[in-house]
A and B are shown apart, each in its own frame.
Chain A
Amino acid sequence: MNTTTFSFIATAVGLIVLAFAHWLGIDYFFFAGYTILQFIVLATAWNILGGYCGYVNFGSAAFFGLGAYSSVFMHNFFPMPVPILIVIGAVVSGIVGFGMGYLTLRLRGAFFAIATLALAVVLQTLVVNWQYLGGARGAYILRPENIAIAGIQVTYIEYLFVLMLALAVIALTTARTIERSRLGFGFATIRDDEVAAEASGVPTLRVKLIATTLSGAFMGMAGAPFPYYIGYVQPSSAFGLEYAVNSIAMPMIGGTTSWIGPLVGAVLLGSAQQYATVTISSAVNLLIVGLMLVAFVIIAPNGLVGLVQEHLRGRRRP
């Protein structure tokens, strides 16, 4: 299947999901669906760097929060429609991703991971001290009740849901396109043996920088509509560790080698968490995510997709 066909199919699936959701017309479905779609974008973005290149980013929360707070900034400075804010969030997070990569990727891989881990703490400190963005008290974003898309009046939450759905389709298509492109093969060589890749003429630093920038930009996109979704952002919610752990756990549990892994992981884990948050408590469900992450990396290193593949291969062999 070539890229154009795939993007048509992905868009069609997106439209079917949207038609179904619109037909249901339940606001809660949009709320819960938005979160799951947001995790699909985050997990896919993480996987572009983590799964394809083998570089771990612990700072998903930092890039997500950066996207969210660039929206807050623009909301105070010069209000604009959310799609433009998404682009701005992507640019800001992409630039930070590039800078982080440039400073740390020339060294051993572990340094990049450590630096991204510290990045969330620093950005949070910055926002806490920046009164214009609401500081530690947080910032309120008043959103309209309804909005018209292409002449049809819809609730604002449905509008955000549509935007996030489009982002998810774009992210998945991009990830799949990369997988089958020259760039994707470059990523894979870095993951498997960086020294050999460098020796065979792969411009490793440039390829890695493309990955960090793309991955950061998608995380920023996922974060940009967040203030409008939640209505009130504070530093500890926008930079929360749950984004970091979820965007690592979802691809790891789903499988990191192809675009379908993060999708499977995000849909399963995201829906399970929506259910658990309502029925048990949010702290317990984070504990479960953490334990599942540890269990999966030890027992099933290739995730659910890997397990299914092994099962199929086992059956084919008589």
Chain B
Amino acid sequence: MASTTSEVTKKVTEEVTEKKSLFNLNWVIGGSLLVLSIAMAARWYQGWAAWDYGLDSTHIDFQTYWMTLLYVEIAVFSILFIVSNVGLWMTRDRDLPNLDARTEISRYMKLIGMLFVYAFAFVFAGSFFAEQDAAWHQVVVRDTSFTPSHIIEFYGMFPMFICLGFASYIYAITRLPLFAKNVSIPLIIAVIGPMMVLPNVGYNEWGHAFWLMEEYFTVPLHYGFVFFGWSIMALGGILVQIMSRISVLMPTAFHLKADA
């Protein structure tokens, strides 16, 4: 969308009638700190328990220190996914056509905040712990699909960002008029694309089990991760849609008027 401010000639004034803030940044900061804390704790745990207890999956210590973590992760993220999305759906706004501009902007800000935390979580899943998986597998040949690197990356970080992404999607379609009326293709791509990385893990481990125990990182078996990893960039498309809508709402929400 090309535009130029030179075409805007009318003077604009703002009537300040409301002082209530449209958005509380504390939720974004808190959410980001929570994601960072989980990632740091996971990294610390790997440093402490991977070499001592994570090399032999048949050893009882592996069951204690790693498989227990796996079961906890599966339980926690499954429950979180169901509760958050069902909760968001059940509390949906059933009168979206009559949503006022200021509330709509406030909800867009909440959505952007959720996407912020989602993107931050994806950095750990797609960048930090992903390449760290190479650091592990170039030292240790896997004996099962459940390794210290996989248990954190595939069954910890991936479900975490999937929960965040899907919650963002349900929030958008149940609280924002435009996202309720039509399916935003960037939103679908940004949420479903990275989500598909988890099923792709199944394909990946199947390939490792039957053909390749350990190999270099750039084998075609891993290309599914590349393809679905691209889809996180659709966040940019969502932002463009949101910004376009907010710019239309701002005059109403902030009581702006063009002087004659």
The judgment on whether A and B are partners is no
**Which B residues fall within an 8 A CB radius of A?**
none
Residues on A lying within 8 angstroms of B by beta carbon are none
